[in-house]
Amino acid sequence: MKVFVEFIGYLARKIGRGWLWVEVCEGDDLRDLFLKRLSSWLEVDIARSLLDAFIRGEVRIAVNGRIVWDLDLKLSDGDRILLFPLAAGGCSLSIGS
Amino acid sequence: MSRRLYGYAGRILRLDLTRRVAVKSETGYDLARDFIGARGFGAKILWDEVKPGIDPLCPENKMVLSFSPLTGTSAQSFHRLFAMFKSPLTDGYFRSTGGGFFAAEVKFAGYDAIIIEGRAEKPVYVWICDDDVEFRDADHVWGATVDGAAEILREETDRNARMLVIGPAGERLVRIACLVTEDYRTPGRGGGGAVWGSKNLKAIVVKGSGRPELFDPDLFKELVEEQVDVYRRSPLFDAFHRLGTNSVVYEFYTLGHNPTYNFKNVELENVEVWRPEVLERYIVKHYGCFACMIACGKKWKLTMGPYAGLVWDFPEYETHWSFGSTCGVTNLEAIAYANMLCDRYGLDTISAGAIVAFAMELYEKGIITERETDGLRLRWGDGDVVVELVRKIALREGFGDILAEGVARAAEIIGRGAERYAMHSKGLELPAYDPRAAKAHGLSYATSNIGGSHMIGWNKYEILGRPERVDPLSTEGKGLLAKIVQDQVAAYEAAGWCAFAELVQTVGYGSVDRTMGWIGSILYAATGVEEFRNPGYLWIIGERVYNIERAFNVRDGFSRRDDWLPERFLKTPFPRQPARGQVFELDRLLDDYYSARGWDSRTGIPTRVRLEELGLGYVADELEKIGRL
Ligand code: SF4
């Protein structure tokens, strides 16, 4: 199954693209998305930095328009996952630098 | 302790336009202690001086422009202008606010508030230079746009003067006309421009040379340093500085806010142009208000299409929505151009766009046709139509004359079921959030004393999940949450603070209690008023301000039935993610809210007990005397 991942504002600039479709496996949760799936598309340290920035509260994640706080959230086919800096546009993060 | 007030300018200026007389009086210690300043002063003075039942456009209406003891100091972002008046749009109490440099300049000239009353026989402007106050003829600038008038008035007074001006819309009594500063910051909502138009007042121009004296300058300096540090560390600081309120347009759309097509809320095509990476390409300059390092203002340059060549203030988040999403428009150039017209004509951008969206839906439904619209085809998504309708509204030209009345009155004039598509509360057009997608925020739309405003109770808990997480779709505890935020905002605004800046600082601290504690300390350091040191006392002031505003409306006949939202929100399920299937549970939420406020839940009127607890026994007495309690 596939999910749609979008990067907004500063994240898009830093990563060099605004979105991508990512293949995930049945039973994957958000943590898996960062640690296993995104790392095959992005540099490993970028995927890890994104996860850390989320944990520090500097990056927010919305799944199908709802803010999520919990990395255990299970993914479903076609989920739309948005990653944005707290109030998009910010450049205080050190993702992949 | 001395009863001397520090931080304050110490005087209130009363401008009697009928007699062309200016009277100065002392800023009372009790008024300062009980209401702080800014919105607090306006609420109290309006309660004392504006009689119930008057027409907002008659000479008996008054406008209070008021400022805070922190205005004009080095404290960051406390230099807002607050305008309180009875609104020609809602027929009730109104508070409108804008940034810029005007408020600080009035403080420098030596005034904590300006009360405007009466009606000049013919157009005038008022020139205030410290102690000197002159009423001058304004025939030569009557009819001029804001920018045109400002340029002439600067030449006649002082090149560095600051001013508040109305444009042709205010002169024509357009009910959504606003006041505009010389740097295009606007106390935009509620029709304050029409109130000035009805008084034949074109502008107030001011230049001051004084500075507020502080009670404890060393403590004050320390607290400002702390503020600067918290701003810098706040994760919101960079976003606001870099892109202003536009930083959240795309994000909020995806979270179910930024409603589309007059709140029908179907998906907006081409919404990717709202992405911050696209919007920031238009920015050519950053600027800010007096003593605010956030500098969230942006100048945009248009280089393509029929509006190419324009360099003007960018459309803020709300304006981006009003001429964009709610009209189905994603043409950024047309949105920026409509915004520029509003600044020059003196129109509230939120209401203007909301009215155009209302007209577009009437056209779609066949309730109006080209016969009524002066031949215009009001198709969703047509940016040029938006621009043309804005011009017609501002000048009350043709069909624009009806729309200039605001959606509630226009719907009555048009009839044929048009009221179903008039998205307002208490007559004020609703802004860029959908009540179904954030319930406490929606409850503030319904219960706000000024009608459908997003600022009276902007719910950071629901919208940002900061400083604490709250599920925006749940109804649990939302009465109390709406009350808490409304009181918080009222306290901050009595201190003259900017809502964006408050957000930056509160998210920086990660706690409302720390913010309230800091405000208490800095108010004390500025003024020497002992009570301000106690954050609990600031909460009481917030609630007191909110209740006296409510009482103003109650005295004018408002009750629970006015705490209302359009049927669309109550009956039609929200169609898109993330709030798909949600409706707004008005009655249940209202019961919860009145109970949290300690008001009578049958009538929505504050009880005597609550009013007395807030030090408003005199308000209860008056309401009882006229049979409203
Ligand atoms: S945050 Fe923006 S609007 Fe608020 S005071 Fe600063 S510059 Fe003005």
Ligand 1 pocket check: which of B286, B289, B317 to mutate, most ligand atoms within 8 Å of Cβ? Answer: B289
CA B389 to ligand 1 centroid distance, Å: 30
Average pLDDT over residues A50-66: 90
Phi-psi region of A78 (alpha: psi -120 to 50; beta: other; left: phi over 0): left
- Torsion, Cα of B473, B474, B475, B480 (10° steps): -100
Q: What is the pLDDT of residue A9?
A: 85
Which tens digits make up the pLDDT trace of B554-611? Answer: 999 999 999 999 999 999 999 998 999 999 999 999 999 999 999 999 999 999 999 9
Amino acid at the residue B403: L
Ligand 1 pocket, B496 CB below 6 A? no
Give which of B57, B193, B380 is closest to B389, Cα–Cα.
Answer: B380
Handedness of CA B385, B389, B392, B397 (dihedral sign): positive
Assembly ipTM: 0.85
Say whether pLDDT at A94 is over 50: no
The C-alpha atoms of residue B159 and residue B445 are separated, in whole angstroms, by 41
Domain A2-88 is found in CATH 3.60.15.10 = no
User: Considering CB atoms only, which of B238, B256, B465 is closest to A91?
Assistant: B238
Say whether pLDDT at B450 is over 80: yes
Residue A90: its chain B contacts at CB < 8 A?
235-239, 242, 247
Structure tokens at A23: 């293949």
Average pLDDT over residues B188-208: 98
Residue B247: its chain A contacts at CB < 8 A?
9, 87-90
Verify whether the Cβ–Cβ distance A65 to B236 is below 8 Å.
Answer: no
Average pLDDT over residues A47-76: 90
Q: Go through the domains of chain B in sequence order and give each one's CATH number.
A: 11-207 (3.60.9.10), 249-426 (1.10.569.10), 435-497+534-625 (1.10.599.10)
CA B578 to ligand 1 centroid distance, Å: 31
Verify whether the Cβ–Cβ distance A87 to B277 is below 8 Å.
Answer: no
CA B99 to ligand 1 centroid distance, Å: 7
Ligand 1 pocket check: which of B296, B313, B504, B506 to mutate, most ligand atoms within 8 Å of Cβ? Answer: B296
Q: What is the pLDDT of residue A69?
A: 87
Q: What is the pLDDT of residue A87?
A: 57
Helix (H) or strand (E) holding A62: strand A59-63
The C-alpha atoms of residue B82 and residue B226 are separated, in whole angstroms, by 26
Higher pLDDT residue, A21 or A86? A21
Q: Whose CA is nearest to atom 5 of ligand 1?
A: B77
Average pLDDT score over chain B: 97
Burial class (CB in 10 A: 0-12, 13-18, 19+), B609: exposed
Helix (H) or strand (E) holding B22: strand B21-26
Verify whether the Cβ–Cβ distance A90 to B465 is below 8 Å.
Answer: no
Question: Binning pLDDT at 50, 70 and 90, where does residue A42 land?
Answer: confident
Which tens digits make up the pLDDT trace of B245-291? Answer: 988 999 999 988 999 999 999 999 999 999 998 999 999 999 999 99
Say whether pLDDT at A91 is over 80: no
Ligand 1 pocket, B236 CB below 6 A? no
Helices (H) and strands (E) in chain A, counts: 3, 5
Q: What is the pLDDT of residue B259?
A: 97
Q: What is the pLDDT of residue A96?
A: 36
Residue B251: its chain A contacts at CB < 8 A?
8, 62, 82, 84, 87-88
Give which of B470, B489, B593, B595 is closest to B549, Cα–Cα.
Answer: B489
End-to-end CA separation in angstroms for chain A: 31
Average pLDDT over residues B325-345: 97
Say whether pLDDT at A90 is over 60: no
Q: Do residues B544 and B616 lie in contact, with contact meaning Cβ atoms separated by under 8 Å?
A: yes
Pick the atom of ligand 1 nearest to B293's CA.
Answer: 6
Average pLDDT over residues B107-119: 98
Q: Do residues B105 and B206 lie in contact, with contact meaning Cβ atoms separated by under 8 Å?
A: yes
B239 inside 8 A of chain A by CB: yes
User: Considering CB atoms only, which of A60, A64, A84 is closest to B578?
Assistant: A64
User: Considering CB atoms only, which of B243, B254, B577 is closest to A89?
Assistant: B243
Which tens digits make up the pLDDT trace of B211-242? Answer: 999 999 999 999 999 999 999 999 889 888 98
CA distance to partner chain A, nearest, from residue B291 (Å): 22
User: Considering CB atoms only, which of B237, B239, B466 is closest to A88?
Assistant: B239
Q: Do residues A8 and B275 lie in contact, with contact meaning Cβ atoms separated by under 8 Å?
A: yes
Residue of A nearest to B239 (CA): A90
Residue matched to tokens 């001011």: B206
CA B603 to ligand 1 centroid distance, Å: 38
Question: Binning pLDDT at 50, 70 and 90, where does residue A73 land?
Answer: very high
Pick the atom of ligand 1 nearest to B99's CA.
Answer: 8
Question: Binning pLDDT at 50, 70 and 90, where does residue B614 land?
Answer: very high
Q: What is the pLDDT of residue A85?
A: 84
Residue B242: its chain A contacts at CB < 8 A?
89-91
Higher pLDDT residue, B24 or A60? B24
From residue B370, alpha-carbon distances to B362, B367, B379 in Å are 11, 11, 11
* Interface residues on A facing B, Cβ-Cβ cutoff 8 A: 8-10, 12-13, 18, 57-58, 60, 62, 64-67, 69, 80, 82, 84-92
Helices (H) and strands (E) in chain B, counts: 26, 18
Verify whether the Cβ–Cβ distance A89 to B250 is below 8 Å.
Answer: no
pTM of the model: 0.96
Residue B467: its chain A contacts at CB < 8 A?
none
Average pLDDT over residues B194-210: 98
**Ranges of each domain in chain A:** 2-88
Helix (H) or strand (E) holding A32: helix A30-32
Average pLDDT over residues B18-26: 98
Residue A66: its chain B contacts at CB < 8 A?
255, 577-578
CA B386 to ligand 1 centroid distance, Å: 28
Those of residues 338-357 in B touching chain A at CB distance below 8 A are: none
Q: What is the pLDDT of residue B348?
A: 98
Query: Could you give the percent of chain B with pLDDT greater than 70?
Result: 100
The C-alpha atoms of residue A16 and residue A19 are separated, in whole angstroms, by 9
Q: What is the pLDDT of residue B465?
A: 87
Q: Chain-centre distance of CA B459, in angstroms?
A: 15
Structure tokens at B593: 């809210």
CB pairs A-B closer than 8 Å = 89
Ligand 1 pocket, B296 CB below 6 A? yes
Q: What is the pLDDT of residue B449?
A: 98
Residue A92: its chain B contacts at CB < 8 A?
235, 237-238
Say whether pLDDT at A46 is over 90: no
Burial class (CB in 10 A: 0-12, 13-18, 19+), A78: exposed
Verify whether the Cβ–Cβ distance A65 to B579 is below 8 Å.
Answer: yes
- Using alpha carbons only, give the angle B149, B153, B159 rounded to the nearest 5 degrees: 125
